[in-house]
Chain A
Amino acid sequence: MKMLPALPRFAAVALALGLLVRPVAAAPAGLTVGTPALKSIGPLAFGPDGILFAADTKSAAIFAIATGDATSANSTQPFKIEAVNEKVAALLGTAPDQILITDLAVNPASRLAYLAVSRGRGPDAVPVLVRAKADGKLEVVSLDKVAFAKAQLPDPPADRTAGEGKRASNPRLESITDIAYLDGRVVVAGLSNEEFSSTLRAVPFPFQSVNGGTTVEIYHGAHGKFETRAPVRTFVARKVGNESQLLAAYTCTPLVEFALNEITPGAKVKGRTIAELGAGNRPIDMIVYQKDGKEFLLLANSARGVMKIGTDASAKTSSIESHINGTKHDGLTVETIADWKGIEQLERLDATSALVVRKTAAGALNLESMALP
């Protein structure tokens, strides 16, 4: 769901596609026209030229879909779609409690919002991609005859004993917990429902092959230990000088940065822990933005508001490897913005606003823009 604000636009392969015109004739490089058969829809991220990356955990695949939405935005109209879950439910002809909004992405070119929606909550749930405009209009993005490509992630470890007889079905599934696009690569974080192992893959785009890239182990120094295998919860890609970096929030709360180009076959990547986020703090989503010439990270948490972290100091911050000394957020300035409550999805809308799905006190989900703090 995250994309670097200053990403190159790859204008040379710009699609000659209007919003309502199906990209039947001219598929962008690496894509072919057809109907992507998504079995589920989870994390989303925009790439160049209106190409949306959608993670499908059930298929263990990443789909690149040409949305045809490459019109440039000239609006700064705020979003305020109240009870968006009820409106999406009405559009899809079901009850609001049968709708799950699994992710939110904004096409930075068009400033249109995309919601990954599950219609239904059981094993037969139907994945739906919904587009929202600032004026409140909602529409289902048709996936019939679109230009798309699919990167199949590597098979899970061989089903060594369960492949025969009545145990032939494999209950193992690797959830895709987050994806991001940066510098021609789709970065994919995974978490298995069996092994407590973390995978992080960098899949080149256009998808060259279906090997799904590389799995690496991430080591981050923290508190006198090397911790291994901790799953990445959410991450954001950013540029620091000429280096492409990932800033990752882990399930056990450190904030870690490492270079994207270190994610190579067989690599053992050592990340730098630049902050400890503390107890009761479950990172949900994060974005990077610039304000007053400085870079900030905005991190949404499950219950506590959002954290605004000045990241310019991160290059100077030494990796946290000594034991906790009682000082919070070692090295970086962290401000908790308490009035951003109930944030369930967080995305950067434009240079000055974030777009959020937030739960109101009444329990409805609103899709609304908020000025970046």
Chain B
Amino acid sequence: MSPFVRAVALVLLGADFFSPVATRAAADASTRTTAPAGVSESAVTLRWAPSAPENSTARVVEITGLPAAALHALRIADWSDERWAELLAVRVTQAPTPTPTPAPTSTPATAETATSSQGSPADALPAMLGRYRVEGAAVCFEPRYALTAGLRYVATFHAAKLPAPFAAPRATPLMAACEVPLAPAGPPTRVSAIYPSADALPENLLKFYLHFSAPMSGGHIYDRIRLLDDAGRPVELPFLELDEELWDPAMTRLTLLLDPGRIKRGVRPLEEIGSPFVVGRRYTLVLDRAWRDATGQPLAADAEKNFLVTPADRTPPDPARWKINAPAAGTLAPLVVALGKPLDHALALRLIRVTDPAGRATPGEPSLAAHESEWRFTPAVRWTPGLYRLLIATTIEDLAGNNIGKPFDVELTERPDAPATATSVAISFSVR
């Protein structure tokens, strides 16, 4: 009889996954229950073990019970990763489970479940990368990357692939599985805002900002976004589909550009298929709830924004026409600026600042109201009497991408050469 135990161990890391002590206990317990009755427990054991007390999610695969001479032969073997993987390989054997795993239970995998991974399709896939080493009386495999929540990993040890003379050609492969449950589901992620927030948007609208309540997953986002006309029919290719999706660093905001080729006057897409919008009609932007957040959970619900399309806006924003409601000296009252029309949400918050009578930046918090057509600034220090200034970067945009002094698309006859624009414009207001 082969000296190697046929054992199948399932280490199911449950809700206590992040507790090193509990996890270690669970792993040890499941290992002890692995050997089927009637088989010697004195021989080789394969198990998943916590690798570092300070990192409860890290796991190593351990083979123990090998003869000392075999361990020595492995220690001095100068093997490639491919050769090591013939002896001990870890493979992902199933897709993520759609729902979080309930309370932890140590459930031994059936031999059938585990061996189902040994069919040819799985064998055609390479084993997971990691570091092999002999440590004390154990052969260890440390995965190079953290195990992914929701997946099942099966380690397979082929005693037949031990170095001669230790190879046991007839030995049954030994397996141990490890499942990493999804973190307990928090409240589902939702679409927290869509900008522009107005109900009426110009035909040459340039972009939407989609805000989410938690980090999202990127990649293939255009499968999750549709623009429907008032008959519920999808508008064909309305968006600029970029490989490099325009997320913010936290992945809680996505910038969605309408295809500029369908907005700009005189370029072929506009001539051929026209603007994605018809003035006077209503449209709905629909975000599919199947869009997954960064933890793999779908959104709480579909999100929709319904809006009316108004004529194209080709008039650059003009700060000279903004109406400033100056606050009273000695107060912390907000400065309120009526912008005349909605401006780009992100840029209006970032590209306008206030300087005090001495020319220093006034600390405070900007915000937008009235569907981004009103800029408000709440100072962190009381207003003092004198002449303040509002400095506006000329790269600020309205909803159609017009800048200060520079429409989105420029007629050749209007502007035969590059405009030498200032980088900012200033308007003054008195605090009394």
State the A residues within 8 Å of B (CB).
42-43, 57-58, 86-87, 89-95, 97-98, 100, 102, 118-126, 138, 140, 157, 159-162, 164-167, 169-173, 175-177, 191-197, 217, 219, 221-228, 230, 233, 251-254, 268, 276-282, 284, 302, 321, 323-324
Contact = CB atoms under 8 A, between A and B. Distances in A.
Interface string B402-416: 000010111111011
A228 B406 contact: yes
Contacts of A58: 249
B393 A157 contact: yes
B363 interface: yes
A122 B269 contact: no
A43 B244 CA distance: 9
A361 B151 CA distance: 26
Contacts of A123: 215, 249-251, 294
Contact of A90 (B125, B237, B264, B391): B125
A89 B127 CA distance: 10
A251 B260 contact: yes
Contacts of A160: 350-353, 361, 391, 393
A278 B397 contact: no
A227 B350 contact: no
Contacts of B412: 221, 224-226, 321
Interface in B231-272: 236-237, 240-251, 253, 255, 257, 259-262, 264-269, 271-272
B266 to A, nearest CB: 4
A158 B64 CA distance: 58
Interface stretch (B4-12, B168-176, B341-349): B341-349
Given A92-B128, A225-B409, 5 more contacts: A92-B144, A164-B380, A194-B255, A222-B266, A225-B266
Closest 8 CB pairs of A and B: A122-B294, A93-B128, A252-B261, A171-B248, A90-B125, A279-B272, A223-B266, A193-B246
A171 B253 contact: yes
Contact of B410 (A93, A98, A228, A268): A228
A277 to B, nearest CB: 7
Contact of B418 (A42, A159, A225, A268): A268
A126 B145 contact: yes
A224 B266 contact: yes
B365 A167 contact: yes
A278 B272 CA distance: 8
A122 B363 contact: no
Most buried by A among B218, B249, B264, B361: B249
Contacts of B241: 282, 302
A87 B123 CA distance: 11
B77 interface: no
Given A171-B346, A222-B267, A280 B219 contact: no
A159 B144 contact: no
Interface string B122-147: 00011111100000000000011101
B351 A91 contact: no
Contacts of A276: 267-268
Contacts of A225: 265-266, 409-412
Contacts of B269: 252-253, 278-281
Nearest to B271: A324
Contacts of B129: 91-93, 140
A126 B216 CA distance: 15
A249 to B, nearest CB: 11
B306 interface: no
